[in-house]
Amino acid sequence: MSNKTMGPIPYGTQHITEEDIEAVTETLKADYLTQGPKVTDFEEAFADYIGSDYAVAVSNGTAALHLGVLALGVEPGQKVITTPITFSASANCVRYAGGEVDFVDIDPETFLIDLDLVERKLRDSELGEYAGIIPVDFTGLAVDIERLRSIADQYGLWILEDACHAPGGSFENSEGEAVNCGDCRYAEAAIFSFHPVKHIAAGEGGMITTNSEELKKQLDILRTHGITKEPERLQENHGGWYYEMQQLGYNYRLTDIQSSLGLSQLKRADEGLLRRRRIAKKYDLAFSDLDTITTQKVSENERDNHHGFHLYVIQVDNRKEVYDYLRKHQIYSQIHYIPVHLLPYYRQFGWNKGDFPKAEQYYERCISLPMYPTLTDEQQEFVIEKVLDVVE
pLDDT of residue 2: 66
Whether 243 has a pLDDT exceeding 70, the answer reads: yes
Which CATH number is 18-266 given? 3.40.640.10
| CA dihedral over 15, 141, 177, 132, signed as positive or negative | negative
Percent of the residues in the chain that have a pLDDT greater than 70, as a whole number: 99
- Quote the pLDDT of residue 4: 66
Q: Are 65 and 162 in contact (CB under 8 A)?
A: yes
Over 70: is that where the pLDDT of 261 sits?
yes
Whether omega before 332 lies within 30 degrees of 0, making that bond cis, reads no
Give Cα separations from 165 to 119, 151, 195, 198, 333 (angstroms): 24, 23, 11, 7, 17
Asked if pLDDT for residue 380 goes beyond 80, the answer is yes
Domain edges within the chain: 18-266, 269-391
On the question of pLDDT at 1 being above 80, the answer is: no
The confidence score (pLDDT) of residue 354 equals 98
**Would you say residue 3 has pLDDT above 80?**
no
Q: Could you report the per-residue pLDDT of 300-354, keeping only the tens digit for each?
A: 999 999 999 999 999 999 999 999 999 999 999 999 999 999 999 999 999 999 9
Residue 51: DSSP 8-state: T
182-213 confidence digits (pLDDT tens): 999 999 999 999 999 999 999 999 999 999 99
Mean pLDDT across the stretch 276-285?
98
What is the pLDDT at residue 6? 80
d(CA 13, CA 352): 34
Task: Please state which of the four CATH numbers 3.90.1200.10, 3.40.50.1370, 3.90.1150.10, 3.60.15.10 is assigned to the domain occupying 269-391.
Answer: 3.90.1150.10
Query: Please, what is the average pLDDT of the chain?
Result: 97
> What's the pLDDT at 343?
98
Sign of the C-alpha dihedral, residues 190, 193, 197, 200? positive
Q: What is the pLDDT of residue 128?
A: 87
Q: What pLDDT score does 356 carry?
A: 98
pTM comes to 0.97
Rounded-to-integer distance, Cα 250 and Cα 259, Å: 19
Confidence at residue 331, expressed as pLDDT on a 0 to 100 scale: 98
